Structure 1
Amino acid sequence: MKFLFASDSFKGSLSSAQTAAILEREARLCFPDCECISLPVADGGEGTLEAVLQAAGGILIRKEVRDPLGRNVLASYAVLDGGRAFIEMAEASGLPLLKPEERNPLLTGTYGTGQLILDALERGCSQITVAIGGSATNDGGMGALRVLGVRFLDEEGNELEGTGRDLSRVKSIDSELICPLVRGASFTVMCDVKNPLTGKDGAARTFGRQKGGTEADIELLEAGMERYGELMAELCGYDIAAAEGAGAAGGLGAALSVFLDAEMKPGIEAVLDLIDFDRKLRGVDLVITGEGRMDWQSSFGKVPSGVGEHCKRLGVPAVAVVGGMGEGAENIYEHGILSIIPTVNGAMNLDEAMERAEELYAGAAGRLFRLLKVGISLKDK
């Protein structure tokens, strides 16, 4: 038997790597000679950088960059084989880098993210994936693109710093001096929101408050973003402001699409591509995936649905071991997952389930492999 384990972490209790280790231990109790492949995976949220690094076997690069307020901070990204790099923009431009009282989308920028992209290019990476969740910014990606040579100019021709408050001051954009390394590279944006750049569902009005913006700040940002979107549309020839995902990370999604010709992808799809998931499915008899809680949301870009869809397409059976089940969990069956095995084995509250997570997960894994052994014996008869 050949098993492949590709589960998301169980937030607050088990990491993706821990679930894989438990599954391998329990599998060998029933199938001593089995082959086990462990692939830590994530959907673009917490733990994605670590999961990609472990599964794809790259190296971690640490670089001093500017944080959202321009202060020096050490940020990490991964360099993988084949000239690939994986960057989490939150490492350089994320909300966790700021104290709550420091959050202000008028003052923050993505300059540090641009520094990570440039560093990857200068190291020879030609396929760069940027995960853009968790941003503290609403600068339209100006800060990041400044690092790469794009100039954002005010009405007097002066170059702007590229923070949120500069959106309303941009009168022209000069991309003639963009870094030549950009033209020899391809870019993927890992994005799980579909918000446009402007409007009631746009970057400022949807995400401005959580980034520290007041009502007045948000309206100022919205007005500036409208003009900024018009300028970018003139450059790319289409209405970028209305594009799905353009408003992600305060407009960084739009900037990477326009200036770097980046392709937008759901998080789990980008991760599965990076770790060459389809190739690793060859010869596998069963895939086991999962997450902390499975409900209706699991069918929309979460790890089990992404893994299940790939397994379904390639004819590999897949099941999910999960912490708990909520309304609509069974919708996952439409995405290649054949069965759901909850870990909770009796009446208990969430705190108890979290405390006993390893024990409960091992019990569920053991039941799964025992049932599989029964199925094999029935087939042999």
Structure 2
Amino acid sequence: MNVVIAPDSFKGSMSSREAAERVRAGVARVFPVWETTVVPMADGGEGTVEAILAVIGGRRMTARVKDPLGRSIEAEWGYCEKRGLAVIETAAASGLALLKEPDPARASTYGTGQLLKQALDHGVREVVIGLGGSATVDAGTGFFAALGVRFYDGQGELLEPAGGNLGEIDRIDGSGLDPRLQKVRITIASDVTHPLLGPEGAIHVFGPQKGIQAEELDRFEEGMGRFAERLVRVTGRDHRWTPGSGAAGGFGFSLLSLLNVEWGSGLDLIAAWGHLEEKIRQADLVITGEGRMDRQSLYGKVPVGIARIAARHEIPVVAFTGQIQGDLTEAEETGISVILPITEGPISLEDAMRQGPDLLERAACRFAQVWRLGESRGVKR
């Protein structure tokens, strides 16, 4: 029996690698002779560095940078020296998980720009930037400020880049942008396809989860729109309606406007580098999962992406999750055979996240016991 184990991280509880190892351990309790292949996955958010380094090699680097509110923190990025490649997660320096309370008016991507600056100092030739998990709606102005771009208000005063200041930006001076960026291949890893503006854009779709109150949505939307107009005039590029421009609070828009970037699915990138489809083609079963599965999971999250690959080769897929939200009976249409929650009874979210690794291992063991029961009864998959 050949099993591919390719989960996403269970955010706040365990990384994709730990999740995969816990599944492997649980299955091995029942089937120690099963051959298992672990491929940690990510979609551009938390865990992207670990997942990419797991498939191509490299090491973690640390840098002292600013968090979303300007406080000094240590943040990690991935470095594959043999390829001259840096992997940067926006979540590492500018992530929502770094804040006790979201503050969209003040939050900035400046620290993410500092991470890229350190990577450039190491002479990298290629950079992957994952956009998931940000705390910001600053349209990436902080990121670009860290790399030399300056933003001024109508009185010619230098503005602090932040989500609440976008509407005050009157002039954008890109003359100081780090020239090394022109010599580096930059790939954006994101599965977000939302545009910058409108009801499906950065503010209305993602703003509430970053702390924007319902009564403030229009104000933030107006500020984003004003900034976009000014950047379009400066660059001559209009990416306001380009799919993905709304990613990470408009960060995608500024990356597309100010740099020559390639855009791709984080999952597809990791799958290609890890030769995932070839591994799945040779498998008898695929196990995946993520911390929470809801209807949004059916439209592009890691488990569904894995299932679509497996479906091309008629390989069954089992997905573990910490929480199921809503009716997911349509999951089978995506190629997921069954979704299995790992919780064992009423439990607080805090306890579930703390106990997540053990819960997942035991759930994998129970699944393997059911599989063994089917085998003993001669059930064919």
Instruction: Tell me what 1:64 maps to.
Output: 64
Pair 206,327 (structure 1): closer, same or farther in 2 beyond 3 Å: closer
Pair 20,368 (structure 1): closer, same or farther in 2 beyond 3 Å: farther
- Choose the corresponding residue for 1:366, options 362, 365, 369: 369
How far has the Cα of 1:29 moved from its partner?
5.2
Instruction: Tell me what 1:225 maps to.
Output: 224
Give the counterpart letter for 2:315 in structure 1.
Answer: P
Partner-residue secondary structure (3-state), 2:318: strand
Distance 2:223 2:26 in 1: 56
Instruction: Tell me what 2:93 maps to.
Output: 92
Give the counterpart letter for 1:322 in structure 2.
Answer: F
How far has the Cα of 1:124 moved from its partner?
3.0
User: Could you list the per-position Cα deviations for residues 43-63 of structure 1 after superposition, in whole angstroms to 9, with x for gaps in the alignment?
Assistant: 344444444444443311110
How far has the Cα of 1:306 moved from its partner?
0.9
TM-score when normalising by structure 2: 0.79
User: Could you list the per-position Cα deviations for residues 228-270 of structure 1 after superposition, in whole angstroms to 9, with x for gaps in the alignment?
Assistant: 2112223454532222332332221111111123334444334
Instruction: Tell me what 1:304 maps to.
Output: 303
How far has the Cα of 1:112 moved from its partner?
0.7
User: Could you list the per-position Cα deviations for residues 321-369 of structure 1 after superposition, in whole angstroms to 9, with x for gaps in the alignment?
Assistant: 43576765353333344x3263679xx6343996783333202123335
Let me know the Cα RMSD of the aligned residues: 3.7
How far has the Cα of 1:201 moved from its partner?
4.1
How far has the Cα of 1:320 moved from its partner?
0.8
Q: Is the 8 A contact 1:149 1:177 kept in 2?
A: yes
Give the counterpart letter for 1:363 in structure 2.
Answer: R
Distance 1:322 1:291 in 2: 7
Determine if the alignment matches structure 1 residue 255 to structure 2 residue 254.
yes
TM-score when normalising by structure 1: 0.79
Distance 1:97 1:341 in 2: 30
- Choose the corresponding residue for 2:315, options 314, 317, 337: 317
Q: Is the 8 A contact 1:321 1:364 kept in 2?
A: no
Instruction: Tell me what 1:160 maps to.
Output: 159
How far has the Cα of 1:105 moved from its partner?
3.0
Pair 133,290 (structure 1): closer, same or farther in 2 beyond 3 Å: closer
Give the gaps of 5 or more residues in structure 1.
none
Determine if the alignment matches structure 1 residue 287 to structure 2 residue 290.
no
How far has the Cα of 1:8 moved from its partner?
3.2
Distance 1:64 1:14 in 2: 24
Moved more, 66-75 or 290-299: 290-299
Partner-residue secondary structure (3-state), 2:135: coil
| 1:126-137 paired onto structure 2 within 5 Å | 126-137=125-136
Q: Is the 8 A contact 2:130 2:188 kept in 1?
A: yes
How far has the Cα of 1:38 moved from its partner?
1.0
Q: Is the 8 A contact 2:46 2:133 kept in 1?
A: no
| 1:19-98 paired onto structure 2 within 5 Å | 19-23=20-24, 26=27, 30=31, 32=33, 34-80=34-80, 82-98=83-99
Q: Is the 8 A contact 1:308 1:336 kept in 2?
A: yes
Pair 18,107 (structure 1): closer, same or farther in 2 beyond 3 Å: closer
Give the counterpart letter for 1:178 in structure 2.
Answer: L
Q: Is the 8 A contact 1:9 1:292 kept in 2?
A: yes
User: Could you list the per-position Cα deviations for residues 68-122 of structure 1 after superposition, in whole angstroms to 9, with x for gaps in the alignment?
Assistant: 232221111222352332222122122333342xx44333321111111122233
Q: Is the 8 A contact 1:6 1:20 kept in 2?
A: no
Give the counterpart letter for 1:26 in structure 2.
Answer: V
Determine if the alignment matches structure 1 residue 203 to structure 2 residue 202.
yes
Q: Is the 8 A contact 2:45 2:131 kept in 1?
A: no
Distance 1:242 1:260 in 2: 17
Q: Would you say how many aligned residue pairs link Structure 1 and Structure 2?
A: 371
Determine if the alignment matches structure 1 residue 151 to structure 2 residue 147.
no
Q: Is the 8 A contact 1:284 1:316 kept in 2?
A: no
- Choose the corresponding residue for 2:347, options 345, 351, 357: 351
Moved more, 249-258 or 203-212: 203-212
How far has the Cα of 1:173 moved from its partner?
2.7
Instruction: Tell me what 1:342 maps to.
Output: 340
Pair 29,69 (structure 1): closer, same or farther in 2 beyond 3 Å: closer
Q: Is the 8 A contact 2:154 2:168 kept in 1?
A: yes
Distance 1:251 1:14 in 2: 28
Give the counterpart letter for 1:39 in structure 2.
Answer: V
Give the gaps of 5 or more residues in structure 2.
none
Pair 91,341 (structure 1): closer, same or farther in 2 beyond 3 Å: closer
Partner-residue secondary structure (3-state), 1:351: coil
Instruction: Tell me what 2:6 maps to.
Output: 6
How far has the Cα of 1:272 moved from its partner?
2.7
Pair 88,341 (structure 1): closer, same or farther in 2 beyond 3 Å: closer
Partner-residue secondary structure (3-state), 1:240: coil
